[in-house]
Amino acid sequence: MLFEKQLSELELYISQLEKTNPKVSKSNVGWQIDHALRVLRGISWQLEESNPNEFKQKFNIKRKLFLMIGTIRRGTARVPKTVVNDKEITEESIKIFLDKTKEQVKKIDDLPSKSHFIHPYLGSFDKKESIRFIEIHTEHHLKIIRDMFR
């Protein structure tokens, strides 16, 4: 399954949702996990719902650099409200959300290559680029979580 290793690692931290380290992030582990899952699930859903015949990609230097460099600098991106949870994050809610996310991402493999999602700042990503985006984004939040325990 796509992202299996990353999802398994996120799952390891569920029991530590309240862990914080202000030197690393203003957010706790629970927020990091929830946000990573929201992005992963949201992009996979957009890929599924997209019409491959409508895929149009304009050159975007920021998107190309993002995919080439493969990392996100901390504190540089603004988080869209659509991928922020405004409710309490509990072990139970995260476990349920993780299970739903696992089910959603299973669908990506069978989607056409021109399935796509549109990022608010970086433009259109085809399926392959979307997978790379998810990997980079999830790894970014895993690094933050790992650093909270150092």
Residue 22 maps to a domain: no
Q: Could you tell me the two tokens for 149?
A: 């325990």
Residue 19 maps to a domain: no
Q: What separation in angstroms does the CA of 41 have from each of 23, 24, 113?
A: 29, 25, 18
Residue 23 maps to a domain: no
Q: Could you tell me the two tokens for 132?
A: 């790379």
Residue 60 maps to a domain: yes
pTM of the model: 0.94
With 0-12 CB in 10 A as exposed, 13-18 as middle and 19+ as buried, what is 55? Answer: middle
Domain, as residue range, for 119? 4-10+29-148
Q: pLDDT tens digits, the chain, 150 residues: what are they?
A: 678 999 999 999 999 999 999 999 999 999 999 999 999 999 999 999 999 999 999 999 999 999 999 999 987 777 767 677 778 999 999 999 999 999 999 999 999 999 999 998 899 999 999 999 999 999 999 999 999 999
The total number of structural domains in the chain stands at 1
CA distance 76 to 94: 26
Element spanning 117, H or E:
strand 116-119
Say which residue the tokens 């085809």 belong to: 126
Residue 101 maps to a domain: yes
Residue 17 maps to a domain: no
